[in-house]
Amino acid sequence: MEYYFTDGSCKSNGNPNSEGGFGIVKVDEYNNILWEYSERKSPTTNNEMELMAILTALKYIKKREETDCIIYSDSAYCVNLINNWMYNWKDNGWKRPKNQEVKNLDIIK
Mean per-residue pLDDT, 85-106: 92
Mean per-residue pLDDT, 19-27: 98
Q: Which domain holds residue 47?
A: 2-108
DSSP for 56-106? Answer: HHHHHHHHHT--SEEEEE--HHHHHIIIIIHHHHHHTTSEEGGGEEPTTHH
Per-residue pLDDT at 4 exceeds 90: yes
∠ Cα 68 6 54 (to 5°) = 70
What's the mean per-residue pLDDT of the chain?
95
Give the number of domains in the chain: 1
Mean per-residue pLDDT, 70-82: 97
pTM of the model: 0.93
Q: What is the pLDDT of residues 35-68, one digit of tens each?
A: 999 999 999 999 999 999 999 999 999 999 999 9
Q: How high is the pLDDT of residue 7?
A: 98
Q: How many H-runs (helices) and E-runs (strands) does the chain carry?
A: 4, 6
CATH number at 12 reads 3.30.420.10
